[in-house]
A and B are shown apart, each in its own frame.
Chain A
Amino acid sequence: MSETRIDMKSVDGRGRIWDPARECLSRPGIEDLQLARLRSTLERVGDNVPCYQAKFREAGITSADIRSLDDLARLPFTTKEDLRLNYPYGMFAVPLREVVRIHSSSGTTGKPTVVGYTRNDLRTWTELVARFMTAAGVTEDDIVHIAFGYGLFTGAFGLHYGAERIGASVIPMSSGNTDKQLMIMQDYRSTALVCTPSYAMTLADRLEKAGIDPEDLALRFGLFGAEPWSEEMRKELEKRLGLVATDNYGLSEVMGPGVAGECLSRCGMHIPEDHFIPEIIDPETGRALGPGSVGELVLTSLTKEAFPMIRYRTRDITRLHYEPCDCGRTHVRMEKTMGRSDDMLIIKGVNVFPTQIEEVLFQEEGCEPHYQLIVDRQGTMDTLEVQVEVGEHIFFDEMKMQRAFIDRLEKRLLATLGVGARIKLVEPSSMPRHEGKAQRVIDRRKL
């Protein structure tokens, strides 16, 4: 056992708190702050974002009507469709000159969703990531190995700046190249691993293959996020990598990672309530549900300047717990997400909408609307297979043309989705025809 390894029994159950004054605020203190910040956010979006102006007008409501937090439920929702209609910068509440960073995520169609951050937004984001990384055990003594892909997605940059803020040593490893990851992990003595749970599993497999004993690594903590995972997977990762694993949650539309993160008590992910108001609604009726109910998570940002979100429908199904946590933090905890209220898939940590795939298929002349997506997990990695029924227009009697057709579709899918998919041609009528909506997606993963 290395000298940097901690014995979990010796870790103070409460652990460190990054910003105790704010993270342990009393419930009335949280609510007063939320109401004040909500009203100022509503004024700003009402002044600067035409989409919100129109929505509020239609609902016959102004920021002055919001006198208590209960009035939040009177405001209209914001959806991914709103973001699509306002692509690329229509939802920004500040001029672009005040925006210092742009990220994006998958849209429901060919166009992605664009989000922006002012200097203050980046500062807030960094602070909130520092909070949950501290809650997950990371300190200035850690060597943080970030194996999220650096790029347009928010994962890598969010964790990167948060870890630096704590004072940890950050290795901006990025994703892929598993053998090199292992070498650096061994030689640089990485103590905290940041990646998707499925990639952590890939690393564990490769360790085993290479005959490396996890006890010989310096890993202490794993901060895994960007896709759903189970308690069983947590146990396995902890055993195979010799670390303590925590979950974290975020979505770029709302900020990125840091929207919620587990503390070492591991009984739900704390949502920083001084910056966001979470609600749970019935996804069918849109009605707000009481505490402890399972439903769709809706988030309202309270401090964001460039890209404020009012009642954004995350489509993630979860439950909120307001009882105080053992760790001393007072902020609400959300459970691991239990599913989606739309058809979005998370494949290798990347958000994929079936409509994006449909668009790619329909760009090909003669492609018929009969396709099915098969999501599976081979070993530890997600796989996406797109089964396409072969009609006369996409059937060639020369094999090289048929192969070229498949290659062309696979390349386009990779470019559009940001994740690879395998095309499988099938005979017509292979897919079950349903009354009404076809079953487009078969997810065989057991998470």
Chain B
Amino acid sequence: MKVEQISIFIENKFGRLAEVTKTLGEAGANIRALSLADTSDFGILRLIVDKTDLAKTTLKEQGFTVNKTEVVAVEVPDRPLGLCGILQILDEGRVNVEYMYAFVERCGENAVIIFRFDDPEEAIRVLTENKVKVLKGERVYSM
């Protein structure tokens, strides 16, 4: 039920983001979702791509520092209080959200949010128990 995400260390200097996307593009990997956390010195770019292993290898060959992490893709009703309801479920289930970001594409009537949890197994259990739909990796990569 988990989705693979790659994180890339990026120095805060001119042209680095372009370099990452160019490398991925030339390797034929397509970005499905992304988020960038940054400080004045550096940033952490997190990506969901259609070909995770290819993307990771290619970026490493280009000298980037890349790690693979597991995140959870959750379907969220695309209406006011939609996300709020999911967060309340997680709250009551005592699961911590480390960070999250939205998917560009919709899945049918619903939005998709990528979550990084402190305890992903427990998060998936709490969510499915509460009838929240958690997306499989293959589904997400091909969206």
Contact = CB atoms under 8 A, between A and B. Distances in A.
B44 A430 contact: no
A424 B40 CA distance: 10
B37 A399 contact: yes
Interface in A403-427: 403, 424-427
A399 B44 contact: yes
A2 interface: no
Interface in B1-41: 5, 7, 9-11, 16, 37, 39, 41
Contact of B9 (A400, A424, A427): A427
B117 to A, nearest CB: 11
Contact of B41 (A398, A424, A430): A424
A427 B16 CA distance: 10
Q: Which of A397, A403, A425, A428 has the most CB of B within 10 A?
A: A397
A425 B98 CA distance: 22
Contacts of A398: 98-99, 116
Interface string A124-135: 000000000000
A396 to B, nearest CB: 8
A427 B41 CA distance: 11
B65 interface: yes
B66 interface: yes
Interface string A367-406: 0000000000000000000000011100111111011000
A430 B46 CA distance: 21
Q: Which of A390, A400, A424, A427 has the most CB of B within 10 A?
A: A427
Contacts of A429: 63
B65 A391 contact: yes
Contacts of B16: 427
Contacts of B41: 424-425
A398 B69 CA distance: 10
Contacts of B37: 399
Interface residues of B, number: 21
A397 B69 contact: yes
Contacts, number: 48
Interface in B40-71: 41-42, 44, 46, 63-67, 69
Interface residues of A, number: 18
Contacts of A390: 9, 42, 65
A402 B11 contact: no
Contact of B11 (A395, A400, A426): A426
A427 B20 CA distance: 13
Contacts of B44: 397, 399, 402
B11 A427 contact: yes
A397 B116 contact: yes
Nearest to A398: B98
A397 B65 contact: no
B7 A395 contact: yes
Contact of A395 (B39, B65, B98, B99): B65
B67 A392 contact: yes
A392 B42 CA distance: 15
A429 B60 CA distance: 12
B11 A430 contact: yes
A424 B39 CA distance: 11
Interface string B98-121: 110000000000000000100000
A429 B98 CA distance: 30
Contacts of A425: 9, 11, 41-42
9 contacts: A395-B65, A396-B67, A397-B44, A397-B69, A398-B116, A399-B37, A399-B99, A424-B41, A427-B11
